[in-house]
Structure 1
Amino acid sequence: MADHYEVLGVSREATPDEIKKAYRRLARQLHPDVNPGEEAAERFKLVTHAYDVLSDPDQRARYDAGGSDSPFGGAGANFGGFNDIFETFFGGGGARAGRPRSRKEKGQDALVRVDLELKDVVFGVHRDIEVDTAVECETCHGACTQPGTSPVRCDICHGSGHVQRTVRSLLGNVVTSQPCGTCQGYGTTIPYPCATCQGQGRVRARRTVSIDIPAGVETGLRLQLPGSGEIGPGGGPHGDLYIEVSVADHAVFSRDGEDLLATLEVSMPDAILGTTSRIDSLDGPVDLEIRPGVQSGDVLTIKGRGITPLRGNQRGDLRVGVHVVTPTRLDAKSRSLIEELATRTKLPRPQLAEFHQGLFSKLRDRFRNG
């Protein structure tokens, strides 16, 4: 028996893709419809059998090892060679005719990016979004035809959407089916397509979509609006609309989960004596009590002034890190008072203490752990 590799004209190290290409090239040359001679028929049979063996990894391995190369390959017979012939020459693979295609298809999904401020995340926000997408044609209302007309049954496929043809092969006469080229598989044709949408049933337009963006969203989150994407061809169902959120950085506040973080500069006298400071949170002013002797790096918490979570209604907190500001320019009287204070309080002189990462690292850690 002829060597399968020699029959296909490939080396024993040929890849599956190289084997397939060699087979298809020879099949086009030797197929009975192209080359009806007896010698070509015999070669075609050998080429097909060689491809059946070498295209199946298990059969190829047995063949390379000197084992059986039966064209039927045992219980798991591989008839891929004949299917490839039908696919190469007739595009149908011997498939049975199915139902005609529907002109109504689902529309594609759409993605829109929405920029938000941090304050929009606290309680959520309503937005009207402009979307440039496909909408139903107002002239034909998705019918694809001019008003007063309708699709007609295809004369070629008689409404089935497929045409059949008989092909002579080694197995005898084989009936193949493929989509009708006249109606493109729809089973109907449109003699008078709608002039507005060119027979598509939809046109491009800008429309407004209203959306309530919930509280607690963050950058990168995508919200899905089912059925708000573009309409499909032929008036088919809408796809979905996805809203991708991008939250801008805030000059004062930053986010840590459901909490808001901020830094409050406190003068040295206020830090020593304590005071009450009115600060502007993202949802209005709030009084913050600064206790006497507060230190730089201390974190003061205002309950319930953070962000409402995406799932739930218990708001986070506003956590304020204290930064005591030391005056750098003093007049003579102020300096004298500070010196007197130092004498009266007997403050310790500067000395080395336990190592810390630094004020702002310390403040950051307290934010996270406070």
Structure 2
Amino acid sequence: MYTEMDYYELLEVERGCDEGALKTAYRKLAMRWHPDRNPGDSEAESRFKAINEAYDVLKDPQKRAAYDRFGHAAFRNGGGGAGGGGNPFGDSAPFSDIFSDIFDQFMGGGGRGRRAGPQRGADIRHDLQVSFEDAFHGIEMDLAVDVAVSCDHCAGTGAKPGARAQNCGTCGGRGQVRMQNGMFIVERTCPSCHGSGSVISDPCEHCGGEGRVERRKSLKVKIPPGVDDGTRIRLAGEGEAGPRGGEAGDLYLFIHMKPHAIWKRDGTTLFAQVPMSFVDAALGGDISIPGIDRKPVDVKVPAGTQTGRQFRVRGRGMPALNGHGVGDLVVQVELETPTKLNARQKELLEEFRGTAGGSEGCPRSKGFWDRLKGAWDELTD
């Protein structure tokens, strides 16, 4: 009764869901409708089979693409939208998979099906935000991830304690079946054991025969000094456990830098904009700011410094990843004009303006007015 139900509706997921959401939904439903939990319920058994059929299609990128395009017709004789020609290799494989396997056979690949034995678990990704200070010094962090781990009750075998997996009768334990049509012989993943080469007649009640369960895992992660936005850190074996005792995948941490109120970064170079009064810029002075290494950074500003001028301080930037040197700090001066003046300050500035000699002491202003005068003379000639 469920064979023509939409696979996405059957698994209760959105059409664009990712692999993780698909797995979580499948495991939840498979546990709920497993025949061992619903003895004598033919409807539950039928739904369990339909759920497995839907997951078998949607977990495979090529099968999923065929289903998204053609629906159930992609897996029937004459289906797949290929002009009505029958599928000589059976109903379970779309034409794109069939011809890819034939190509692999000619190229000596032996087919794309999985070999018998435990399958490796999936790699997972975790995004991690890191502050500038933590990226400079490095940090050890506590991390919690939701991931499939080996089932404790069956030790990852997928079978009840005392029960054993048996060789698959469909493929004889090879994990693959051969199909022949004329001159073509194609090997495909066994539909009964899904490539493992064995079947479990008495599955574990806690994991539904998968050999793994979803759990929140706590990890201590060392973030090395020098990480940058986009840095990827691989934690081998901390990904999803493989089904039925398979090797675990890897966990990949993707680093994202938190914005900082003062510092900006380009690789190992740090940038900071520092306000300075026009008096100090005119007369010269010193700037002292705290560095990211928690030590003061002193910059000597010469008299007549203009706004936007940059001063490079060697070796006070970010460390390079893996300890290959340290970058520089670039301090950019931004002149600030006072907004509130008392009477005496105004008097002094008026006196200064009267003795400043026009733009002679301001080379950028003099250059601008000289260019403007030249342009005006050309227009009026």
**TM-score when normalising by structure 2:** 0.59
Structure 2 residue identity aligned to 1:222: R
What is the deviation of 1:262?
1.0
- What is residue 264 of structure 1 aligned with on the other side? 274
> The residue matched to 2:347 in structure 1 has which SS?
helix
Contact 1:111 1:244 in 2 (8 A): yes
How big is each residue's C-alpha offset from its partner over 1:240-289, in whole Å with a ceiling of 9 and x where there is no partner?
21111211222211112311111111123322343333312222141423
- What is residue 104 of structure 1 aligned with on the other side? 118
Of 321, 338, 342, which aligns to 2:349? Answer: 338
- What is residue 336 of structure 2 aligned with on the other side? 325
For structure 1, which segment, 207-216 or 105-114, has the greater mean C-alpha deviation from structure 2 after superposition?
207-216
What is the deviation of 1:108?
0.7
What is the deviation of 1:143?
1.4
1:224 aligns with 2:234: yes
Of 367, 375, 381, which aligns to 1:353? Answer: 367
Structure 2 residue identity aligned to 1:227: G
Q: Percent identity?
A: 32
1:126 aligns with 2:140: yes
1:309 aligns with 2:323: no
Cα 1:20–1:292 change in 2 (3 A) is: closer
What is the deviation of 1:219?
2.4
Count of residues paired in the alignment: 274
> The residue matched to 1:353 in structure 2 has which SS?
helix
> Structure 1: any 5+ residue segments left out of the alignment?
1-16, 25-83, 356-370
Q: Matches of residues 48-127 of structure 1 in structure 2 within 5 Å?
A: 85=88, 87-88=89-90, 102-127=116-141
Contact 2:176 2:190 in 1 (8 A): yes
What is the deviation of 1:182?
6.1
Cα 1:316–1:176 change in 2 (3 A) is: closer
Of 299, 309, 316, which aligns to 2:310? Answer: 299
How big is each residue's C-alpha offset from its partner over 1:138-171, in whole Å with a ceiling of 9 and x where there is no partner?
1111111112222235567765667899x9x999
Cα 1:128–1:188 change in 2 (3 A) is: same
How big is each residue's C-alpha offset from its partner over 1:182-204, in whole Å with a ceiling of 9 and x where there is no partner?
66665543232111111111111
Cα 1:122–1:164 change in 2 (3 A) is: closer
Contact 2:156 2:243 in 1 (8 A): yes
- What is residue 25 of structure 2 aligned with on the other side? none
Cα 1:235–1:153 change in 2 (3 A) is: closer
Structure 2 residue identity aligned to 1:204: E
The separation in 1 between residues aligned to 2:211 and 2:190, in whole angstroms, is 22
What is the deviation of 1:316?
1.2
> Structure 2: any 5+ residue segments left out of the alignment?
1-78, 370-381
Q: Matches of residues 117-196 of structure 1 in structure 2 within 5 Å?
A: 117-153=131-167, 188-196=198-206
What is the deviation of 1:354?
4.5
Contact 1:152 1:190 in 2 (8 A): yes
Contact 1:228 1:239 in 2 (8 A): yes
Query: RMSD over aligned Cα, in angstroms?
Result: 4.1
- What is residue 36 of structure 2 aligned with on the other side? none
Structure 2 residue identity aligned to 1:305: R
> The residue matched to 1:134 in structure 2 has which SS?
strand
Contact 2:130 2:255 in 1 (8 A): yes
Cα 1:201–1:346 change in 2 (3 A) is: same
Contact 1:271 1:290 in 2 (8 A): no
> The residue matched to 1:284 in structure 2 has which SS?
coil
The separation in 1 between residues aligned to 2:222 and 2:334, in whole angstroms, is 38
How big is each residue's C-alpha offset from its partner over 1:25-55, in whole Å with a ceiling of 9 and x where there is no partner?
xxxxxxxxxxxxxxxxxxxxxxxxxxxxxxx
Cα 1:145–1:340 change in 2 (3 A) is: same
For structure 1, which segment, 151-160 or 188-197, has the greater mean C-alpha deviation from structure 2 after superposition?
151-160
The separation in 2 between residues aligned to 1:178 and 1:263, in whole angstroms, is 63
Cα 1:161–1:111 change in 2 (3 A) is: closer
Structure 2 residue identity aligned to 1:132: D
Contact 1:278 1:285 in 2 (8 A): no
Cα 1:337–1:102 change in 2 (3 A) is: same
